[in-house]
Each structure stands twice: as structure tokens, then as C-alpha cells.
């Protein structure tokens, strides 16, 4: 049997055994049966929030079990196909291609199975801020927004902009958006940090090379779940006219809302909803989520990392570098993972970075 094919088969076997050890199919089936029984109980929807949470958990478990079993069947079929055609040179490339596909699917599942933070299965709230670099940094901030938008499209996640501040000349000073979908936070939390860009500036008539920075902060979207009591006296609420980038969709009323939490200095804003009341309600949810994240970081002694560290969006703080010139490469400075296909990365193909970070995190524990 071809050496590369043999290596691929061993890799799939190893990842499959790891998946079965982590997944515990019998326990998952028992949990699904238990939740299914509860979903049929009379009066369940008397408490819509509780019922919705139960149905969401049930649906997620069913989808997970289905995907786990599906990829397991794919692996079994591949082993049989490899046994039958291992010595047929004309099938070698096809077998190796199929092996890589199955290995990638199982690796992704194994990462998901190792999520142990209760918030990992939630949606995510992502905030991008331009940093050192002026107009260049604002343009870079908008490029990152496009990258994450494309990633969401590839994943089938819902994407919605909550608040946006346009740059003075081009790009964005900041943007906050929500990503809806199971495990969105689990995956995107790896993106928290400073992202550095090196390229020939399209805004420089002398075509000089520029370095720009933008920060990415990711917190779990807690929705309407209330975990912290917030005093009205601790809040400063400002209203202003909402508008999109480039002056589009300008409102004639002050419907946008900005809330400042005075004790911590945390600021949130929302302008995408139809009314001031809706914007205020969503902004309060964002504030709740940020304060919960802050409290969690305090418990983990990481407040410096998330908030103070974010204050210096420049040299020495980056987690990833994206180089367009003099060569092309995107490299994560935490894991060492890199790729030369910078165009694919900017088009949303960042799963390699995410999986490398999550795998690295598990290995560090």
C-alpha cells in the first residue's frame, strides 16, 4: 500500500477513536431521549424562555449525534474503499483527497467535543476597532469585517451589524456585529486580540509599505439571560441619529442608543433596530454580556488581557500578522500556524487558524 495512503488511514483511525472516546454516543442518546420526553410535557410553553432553551439544546444534540454518526460511517466506507483499491494507482489521488476531507471533518468534530465552557455553544458578539495607522487602520478594520462576514457565510452562521462608526476618509473606526449559530462563540473566541497588516498602501501616492493594526474582541451573546443586576444610577444613556457607512440609511430621529457603565467604563451602542426602545433593549443585552465577560476575566485574572491590553492597538500586542508585501503570508504568533494563501484568508478561510488555536489551547491544559 502507498505510504501516503497508509499514513492517511492511520490518521483517520486515530481521530475516529478520539471522537468515539469524547462523544460517548450512549450518553448522548439517553440525554436526547430525556429532553424529548420533557419537550412533550403539558404546560412546557407556559415558560417560553425555558421551553426555548430546552428545544435549542435538544435540536443541537440531535444535529451533533447525526453528524458524528455520519462521519463515522464515512470513515468506515473509506476504509473499505481503501482496502479494495489500495494497489490501484489510478485511485490513489482520489483516495488521498477523500482521506483529507474525512480527517478535516473529524478534527473539527473533535475540537467541538472539547468545548467545556457553557458559553461556547452560544452566539458571539464581535467588536473591531481600528488602531495605529490612521486611514490605513480604518481600511484594515473594514477588511477584517469582510473576512469575518465571509467566514460566517461559509459556516452558515447568521450575521448582523449592531453598531458601526465610519472612518473620516475611508473604512471603519469601529464596528460591532453579532454572529448567530451554535458554537459561534466557541470558535470565534480564538480571534480575540490585535491583528496586524503589512502592505503597500493604496492611500499613499508614493506606494510605500505601511503597517496597520486593528483589535478584535469577542464575547458570548447571552441573549435575554440576566446574570448581573445593573443599577440605573450606574448608567449614562445617550441617544443619537443612526446612520450606515457612507451616510446611508440616515434616520431623522435619535433612535441609536449608547450606554456607558460608569463603574467600569464599559461602553456599548446599538443603532440597527427600528426604534430607540429596541436599540436600548439590545444595548442593555450587550452591556450585560460585556459585564459578565469582565467578571469572568476577573475570576481568571485575565482582565488585563481583554480590556487594558486592548487599549494599545499597536506594536508588540498582535496575535496574528497578515503580510501582503514583500511576500504573502498570514501567521498566528501564538500557535505558529501559517499559510501563504493570503487571498483565501481574507476571503474567510480562517478555520485553520481557529482549529490550530483551539487544539493548542487543549494541549496547554
pLDDT computed for residue 76 by the predictor: 92
Residue entry with cell 481600528? 130
CATH superfamily of 3-113: Release factor (1.20.58.410)
Quick check: 182 pLDDT over 80? yes
Q: Give residue 2's Cα distance to chain centre.
A: 38
Question: Would you place residue 307 in the very low, low, confident or very high pLDDT band (cuts 50, 70, 90)?
Answer: very low
What's the whole-number mean pLDDT along residues 295-317? 57
Which CATH number is 121-365's, of 3.50.50.60, 3.30.70.1660, 3.40.309.10, 3.40.50.300? 3.30.70.1660
- Residue 348: all three cell numbers together: 474567510
SS3 97: helix
Contact 291, 269 (CB under 8 A): no
Quick check: 356 pLDDT over 80? yes
pLDDT computed for residue 26 by the predictor: 86
Q: Where are the domains of the chain?
A: 3-113, 121-365
Candidate from 116-125, 246-255, 278-287 with smallest mean pLDDT: 246-255
Give tens-digit pLDDT for 47-95. 887 888 889 889 988 988 898 889 999 999 999 988 888 777 788 888 8
Question: Would you place residue 193 in the very low, low, confident or very high pLDDT band (cuts 50, 70, 90)?
Answer: very high
Between residues 298 and 301, the one the model is more confident about: 298
Choose among 9, 353, 311: nearest CA to 148. 353
- Say if 3-113 and 121-365 have the same CATH topology: no
Looking at every residue in the chain, the average pLDDT score rounds to 86
Choose among 338, 317, 320: nearest CA to 329. 338
Whole-number Å distance between alpha carbons of 307 and 302: 9
Question: Would you place residue 189 in the very low, low, confident or very high pLDDT band (cuts 50, 70, 90)?
Answer: very high
Amino acid at each position: 500500500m502507498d505510504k501516503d495512503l497508509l499514513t492517511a488511514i492511520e490518521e483517520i483511525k486515530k481521530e475516529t477513536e478520539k471522537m468515539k472516546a469524547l462523544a460517548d454516543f450512549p450518553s448522548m442518546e439517553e440525554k436526547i431521549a430525556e429532553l424529548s420526553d420533557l419537550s412533550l410535557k403539558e404546560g412546557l410553553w407556559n415558560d417560553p424562555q425555558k421551553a426555548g432553551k430546552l428545544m435549542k439544546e435538544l435540536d443541537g444534540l440531535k444535529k451533533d449525534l447525526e453528524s458524528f454518526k455520519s462521519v463515522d460511517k464515512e470513515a468506515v466506507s473509506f476504509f473499505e474503499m481503501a482496502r479494495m483499491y489500495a494497489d490501484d494507482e489510478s485511485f490513489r489521488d482520489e483516495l488521498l483527497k477523500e482521506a483529507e476531507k474525512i480527517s478535516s471533518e473529524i478534527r473539527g468534530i473533535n475540537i467541538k467535543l472539547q468545548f467545556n465552557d457553557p458559553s461556547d455553544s452560544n452566539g458571539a458578539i464581535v467588536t473591531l476597532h481600528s488602531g495605529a495607522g490612521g486611514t490605513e487602520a480604518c481600511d484594515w478594520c473594514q477588511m477584517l469585517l469582510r473576512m469575518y462576514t465571509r467566514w460566517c457565510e461559509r459556516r452558515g452562521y447568521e450575521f448582523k451589524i449592531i453598531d458601526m462608526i465610519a472612518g473620516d476618509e475611508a473604512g471603519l473606526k469601529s464596528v460591532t456585529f453579532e454572529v448567530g449559530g451554535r458554537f459561534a462563540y466557541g470558535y470565534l473566541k480564538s480571534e480575540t486580540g490585535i491583528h496586524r497588516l503589512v502592505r503597500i498602501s493604496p492611500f499613499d501616492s508614493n506606494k510605500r509599505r505601511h503597517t496597520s493594526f486593528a483589535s478584535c474582541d469577542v464575547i458570548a451573546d447571552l441573549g435575554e439571560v440576566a446574570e448581573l443586576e445593573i443599577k440605573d444610577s450606574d448608567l449614562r444613556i445617550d441617544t443619537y441619529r443612526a446612520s450606515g457607512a457612507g451616510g446611508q440609511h440616515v434616520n431623522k430621529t435619535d433612535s441609536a442608543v449608547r450606554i456607558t457603565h460608569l463603574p467600569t467604563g464599559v461602553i456599548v451602542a446599538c443603532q440597527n433596530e427600528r426604534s430607540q426602545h429596541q436599540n436600548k433593549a439590545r444595548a442593555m443585552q450587550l452591556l450585560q454580556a460585556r459585564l459578565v465577560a469582565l467578571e469572568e476575566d476577573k475570576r481568571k485574572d485575565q482582565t488585563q488581557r481583554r480590556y487594558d491590553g486592548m487599549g494599545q492597538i499597536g506594536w508588540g500586542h498582535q496575535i496574528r500578522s497578515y503580510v501582503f508585501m514583500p511576500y504573502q503570508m498570514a501567521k498566528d504568533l501564538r500557535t505558529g500556524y501559517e499559510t501563504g494563501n493570503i487571498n483565501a484568508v481574507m476571503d474567510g478561510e480562517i478555520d485553520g487558524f481557529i482549529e490550530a488555536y483551539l487544539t493548542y489551547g487543549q494541549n496547554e491544559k
